[in-house]
Amino acid sequence: YILKPIDIDKLKKAVEKASERIVANAKNELALHFIQTISEENDLVSNFSVHHNGKVIFIHVSEISFIEARLENSMLTLANGSHYHSSKNLAQFEAVLSETANFIRINKSVIINTHDLRSYSKGELCIIDMKSGHSFEVSRRRKSEILKKLKEI
């Protein structure tokens, strides 16, 4: 309600307060959407949502070639070569994708989709080559476990 006479300072404060509530509500909706995306009720997540250029884009899990950890977020690289940033960290992706047999975390900063795997070396330094041309080093601690999973493919 606006009552006369109008106090400009009170009006400015009311508009600022309303703006803050709108922003807070939008953040709550993003958090709720994220929770629904990785909800434990979903046995298998088939899509991830990412925010890109003011839109929410849904990416099917099978389209993901690999996921790399960044400073405070993750970058999803799709099989077609496109990249999308996500506010989720790698551990959150790993928890959700652990239900999918074809995703493996190979080191502290990369999860790969084995469907996009081109080759891997079995030497002391294990390197995984992806169809996209990217190469990643396998963690030495997890090398035997990862090689065992790769042999099962």
The pLDDT tens digits for 1-45 are 667 788 888 888 888 887 777 666 666 666 656 655 554 444 445
pLDDT for 77 equals 93
Q: Nearest to residue 107, comparing CAs of 72, 149, 136, 66?
A: 136
The pLDDT score that the predictor gives to residue 6 is 81
Q: Tell me, what's the pLDDT at 41? A: 44
Asked whether the beta carbons of 94 and 111 are under 8 A apart, the reply is yes
Q: Do residues 76 and 67 make contact, with C-beta atoms less than 8 angstroms apart?
A: yes
Q: Identify the helix (H) or strand (E) that includes residue 84.
A: strand 83-86
Residues in the chain, how many? Answer: 153
Q: What's the chain's Rg over C-alpha atoms?
A: 22
User: Could you tell me whether strands 135-137 and 127-130 are parallel, antiparallel, or unpaired per DSSP bridges?
Assistant: antiparallel
Question: Which residue would you say has higher pLDDT here, 114 or 39?
Answer: 114
Q: 1, 88, 106: which is closest to 45 by C-alpha?
A: 88
Query: How many CA atoms within 13 Å lie on the side-chain side of 84?
Result: 23
The amino acid present at 80, given as its one-letter code, is: N
